[in-house]
Amino acid sequence: MIVSEVISVNKQKCKVFLEEGFAFVLYKSEAAHYELEPGAWISEEAYCQLEENLLLPRAKNKALDFLGFQERTRQQMRKKLEMEGYPDRIVNRVMGFLEEYRLVDDLAYARNYISLNGGKKSRRQLTQELRLKGVSGEEIARAFEEGTVDDASSARLLLEKRLKGRRVLSYEERCRHGAYLARKGYSYEVIDRVMRQVLSEE
């Protein structure tokens, strides 16, 4: 394999390209150590050693650091590693390691997310947010089956927070508050029922 280009990323790092395309990101001192410069030849054996000894341990540590801040989905973790410049082979191996030890588990993530947010968000909003984070529809459905999300309770909580104790509203105010709940993902039936219940109380 022939190095086609070495591009500086910042004062410390550079991107290394082979004739086949982008290869990896290294520290400049490492690129110099392996004599990676345009036109240089790198054997398959040296390439594999570089992946095994440098890139794989570094990518695992980066993934664990990322998990240290908060739980992540598979999609979030994969994107993070790709943004750091790790090649697909390394990303796939790290993802396999994380999934093997259940350090990344989308079903568990969905369960926890629903448990933490189910009391203040609608089922539809929770579903949309989880899908944006890369959780599959099947895993979201399983998480909902194992948990309890009461749209009426969370809609009531949001409405009472907005009303601040008021119980008499004009038609326009009812429409405005109803539209707000609709944007949060609540159905017309839930909004209508909660609105009637709350406004009928003294």
Average pLDDT, the chain: 89
Dist CA 89 CA 48 (whole Å): 11
pLDDT < 50: residue spans in the chain: none
Q: For the chain, give every domain's residue range.
A: 1-42, 52-104, 106-146, 151-200
Dist CA 75 CA 89 (whole Å): 16
CATH class entry, domain 52-104: mainly alpha
pTM score? 0.76
Radius of gyration of the chain (CA): 25
Give residue-wise pLDDT tens across range 87-135: 999 999 999 999 999 999 999 999 999 988 887 888 899 999 999 999 9
151-200: CATH topology? Arc Repressor Mutant, subunit A (1.10.10)
Three-state SS at 20:
coil
CA neighbours within 13 Å on the CB side: how many for 157? 12
- Where b means 16+ CB within 10 Å and e means fewer, 75-96 reads bbbbebbeebbbbeebbebbbe
| Side chain identity, residue 124 | R
